[in-house]
Structure formats: structure tokens, C-alpha cells
Structure 1
């Protein structure tokens, strides 16, 4: 069974195409299951849409939910459409997000850390003024946030857990193995999955999130994995799915998962 749980669309302000375009692209790519998971609004912010190029407006959230549910019905029998969301994880604002999601019939939620110390994880300039100890501390902080996000009980999947390497490939060489292992151990204990996200291949790092090394450690700690293209244009839906499946089997995984009504569906590799 071929699936892709991480797709975006025009509402977030930095993706092309509407939701239906991604569903049609999923059918074309041979998917049986496609998850719609656009970026969450900044629910904690006083403004309706403080960052139009990053996330949808809070006032558009209900429209997003209703559109996905409508298309789920429209395409039933052709492709299974799942209602998801890529939710920011800000520990100081967790209650605002938890309240916003109450009663919404999500199939799954992806929890993603997009900021560390108030700076985007994709901002390569953060590293320029840091010495070796500063580099280690930033990486430690990142994995502490990822570990915390697993403990919230809010998320089914954690998104792109080494995405700080996206525009700074040297991130992977910063020594912080014990912090990564601690996060992975917690993720496994909490029954949360991680995604293999192929959008990393479009960034400077040139490889998927996370690295093979982290995937090997995830297997050791009993962490389940899922697949997400993180497509921001319809043509990337399902991108490199077969290659990921092959690599996971080489690493030693026997299955991966997707989610329906917040419950894991196990798919043999």
C-alpha cells in the first residue's frame, strides 16, 4: 500500500496548488492513501495571520477542515484522503494548540519543531557567530524540544527530526549523540512515529530527513516510521517512495505505518 502523509497547499503561503491538486497528483502517483497536512495557524498569536508566507490564517482553519472532509467524501473509492495537520510545537503555547484541535476529526497530527531559541531551524545564519560549544548547545536544545513534543500526547508523528541540517549540512557532524538517543528512546516509549521526509533531498543537505544513522537508532529504540514527501507542489507527491521503502528494508525495518482516526495502520514493507 502506497501512502504519503505530508503535503501542503496554497493556504500556507509558500506552496503551490490547492488541496484537490495534491489529491489528483496522489492518484497519478499510484497512492492508495494521501494525507493533507498543511501548516497550522499561529493559534497563540493576537493577529489572525501574523506570517502569511509561513502559515494559514486562524480564521481559515475551519475552511481547511471542511474542504478536506468534503474531498475525502468526493474521492472515496478512488483514493483515501486523510485529514491531518503539521502542527508547530511551541512548549509555551501548547495549551492554545491543544484547545484549537479539540473536537476536530483528525486522522493524525504531525508535530514539528520549526524554531529553536526563537530562530527558524532553516536559518543558516544562526551558526555563524557560535563557537563549538554553542553549536552543541543549539543541537541539544533542538532534540530536547523534539523529546518534549513526544511527551505531550498531542502528536501521532514527529516531523523531519533532523531538518536543521537542511541548509547547514555540517549540523549532522555536531556531536550530540546522547541527546538524539534520549529523544528517540522517549519517542519509542511514547508510541509516537517519526517520518521519513524526502524534502531534504531538495535542500542543501541533499538527503532525506532523518539520516540513515538516526533511522538505525530509531529501529534500535522501537520507533515506528511513516512516509511524507512534504510536498509543496503537486509534482512531488509520493516523491522517492520506492527508494525509501527499499532503504528501510536494508536498515532492518519490517513495516511502516500510517494513521486513520488517530489509530496506527501497519503496512508491511
Structure 2
């Protein structure tokens, strides 16, 4: 059973290809389930599309949902298409996002922190000149946002939970109890974390999250799922089998995908 819950398309402004291209790529890769989860608009901003190269326009959101649902029906005999979205998490705007998401029949919502302390987690300059104590503080701020996202009740999956290492691999070595505490909260709230293979496209290489975090996730009863975070169709399902084998080695017995916001367990 092969699935991929994290894919994008050209609406977000930084991915290539239309939704159909990702579905066809999934079929070619032998997947039985493909989730479409493009970046949510910035719903709390006044502008229609404040950052065209990052996320879709607000007016495109309903069209996005309609297109996925149409393709779900069209491909029903060839592959299961799931309606998802990758949502930014801004604690001060949760009510706005929640009210909008409740209007649509999502199979799952991925909650991802892309900005912490007002700066993109992928900003290559954010670590320059920081003392050790400030680096610890920045990591703790990031994981506090992830903790809040786990407690918000908005999401089924948390995306790339150590992606701050993307352009700063040293991030993983910053010691703080915040990671363990956040994993405990994630487990208590019954969310899944994704193994996201797009880390290989950044300076850190490899996947999000690290093996160390996955081991602690298992200890804390956290479910796991798979997402390529494909921004080009050819990356759909990328390294699925390698991830599956690694999870077995760590000690996981199953992973999950989501249908109508309910987990579907798949034996590893």
C-alpha cells in the first residue's frame, strides 16, 4: 500500500504542474492513494495574494477544492484522491483559518510552521551572529509554535517538524527539552507527524524529521505518515520504500493516512 499525502501544484506560485499531473505521476509510481495539499492562502491578510510566490490567492481556494473533488471522482477507479491542504499556523489567527476550513470536506489538514519569531524558518541569515543562548531560544520558540499547533485541534498531521534545519543543519545539535515536550503533546493529542523527504533538496540533506526525533516520537506514541512535499510531479512518492524500511528499523509497526479526517492504519 503506497500513499503520499503532501503534494503541491502551480497555484502556490513555486511549484510546477497542475493537480492532474501529480495524480498521473502517482499512478505511474504505483500509489494507491494520493493527497493534494497545496499551501493555504494568507487568509488573515487584507490583500488578495500578498505573497504570490508562496501561496495561492484567497479567491483561488474554493476553485482548488472544487478541482480536487472533481478529480477525485474522475479517478475513483484508478487511485484514491484525497483533499488536503498545507496550512500555515499563526496562533493569533486560528479562528479565521478554522472557520474557513470548516466549510470544506477536507480529508486532512497539514499544520506547518513556516515562520517563527517573525522570520521564515528557511531564512539563511537568521542564525548569523547569534550566541548559543539565543540559538536555544529560537529553537524553543519554533517548537512552542508546533506545540500550539498540536493543541489547536485544527490539524490531523504536523508537517516537517524540524524543517528549521533546512538551511542550517547545525539546528539539530542545539540541545533543548522543547523537542521532547512537544512530541509528548503531539502524542497526547493524537496527531501524526510526516516523514517528509523534501529535506534532501535543502542543505541539511536527508528527511524531516531526523531519526532521533522519530525514535522519540515512537516513545511518545506519535503516529507517522508519509509526504514527499513534491513541488514537481516527478517527486511524488520519492523514497517511499526507503522511509518505510527506516521506520521498521526504528520500531514502528504501522503508519497512517487520513480519509475524512479519520486515520487509516497501514502495516509497514
Q: Quote the Cα distance in structure 2 between the aligned partners of 1:197 and 1:102.
A: 26
Q: Quote the Cα distance in structure 2 between the aligned partners of 1:102 and 1:58.
A: 15
Aligned to 1:145: 145
1:62-113 Cα deviation digits (max 9, x unpaired): 0000000000000001000000000000001111101111120000000000
Q: Quote the Cα distance in structure 2 between the aligned partners of 1:233 and 1:103.
A: 29
| 1:38-187 correspondence to structure 2 within 5 Å | 38-176=38-176, 178-187=177-186
Aligned to 1:204: 203
Aligned length: 268
Unaligned regions of 5+ residues in structure 2, if any?
none
Q: Quote the Cα distance in structure 2 between the aligned partners of 1:254 and 1:168.
A: 32
Q: Quote the Cα distance in structure 2 between the aligned partners of 1:130 and 1:63.
A: 44
Displaced runs of 4 or more, over 6 A: none
SS at match of 1:258: strand
| 1:5-16 correspondence to structure 2 within 5 Å | 5-16=5-16
Q: Quote the Cα distance in structure 2 between the aligned partners of 1:58 and 1:238.
A: 28
SS at match of 1:129: coil
| 1:229-268 correspondence to structure 2 within 5 Å | 229-268=228-267
SS at match of 1:25: helix
Offset, 1:10: 0.1
Aligned to 2:216: 217
Q: Quote the Cα distance in structure 2 between the aligned partners of 1:229 and 1:143.
A: 22
Offset, 1:199: 0.2
Offset, 1:163: 0.1
Offset, 1:129: 2.6
RMSD: 0.5
Deviates more, 1:92-101 or 1:65-74: 92-101
Offset, 1:43: 0.3
What is the TM-score with the length of structure 2 in the denominator? 0.99
